[in-house]
Amino acid sequence: DAGITQSPRYKITETGRQVTLMCHQTWSHSYMFWYRQDLGHGLRLIYYSAAADITDKGEVPDGYVVSRSKTENFPLTLESATRSQTSVYFCASSESRLAGRLFTTDTQYFGPGTRLTVL
């Protein structure tokens, strides 16, 4: 049971380069999320997706692009990396379910993270 995986685990790149972080989950969860975690800011949502081909911006989307052509994959691309994008990036997935008449979020499960350094 692979769960949710991220690659690469560590990445060093230079300012201006394009970088893609991969996220893959084996649970067929509908929802997937990208967060960045920085000291003093906690976990901040970058982008999220409710299903294949449905994505939306989170709290800090500038400079990032996502796609979701398949349910199990949710890559995050930094189009032109900047030093301020040096961070630890976490991917997460969850399934939503009905609780009475309302949808409720279920637990988000996190990948192991990617530590990105932009020089």
Q: Which stretch binds another protein (CB under 8 A): 18-26, 39-47, 67-75, 76-84?
A: 39-47
Residue 44 · residue 37 · CB < 8 Å: yes
The residue among 59, 22, 23, 56 whose CA lies nearest residue 42 is 59
Does 8 sit behind a cis peptide bond, omega within 30 degrees of 0 on the bond before it? yes
Query: Does 52 sit near another protein (CB under 8 A)?
Result: no
Neighbours of 3 (CB within 10 A): 13
Query: Does 112 sit near another protein (CB under 8 A)?
Result: yes
Query: Does 56 sit near another protein (CB under 8 A)?
Result: yes
The residues that touch another protein, with contacts defined as CB under 8 A, are: 31, 33, 40-43, 45, 48-50, 56, 58, 90, 94, 96, 99, 102-113
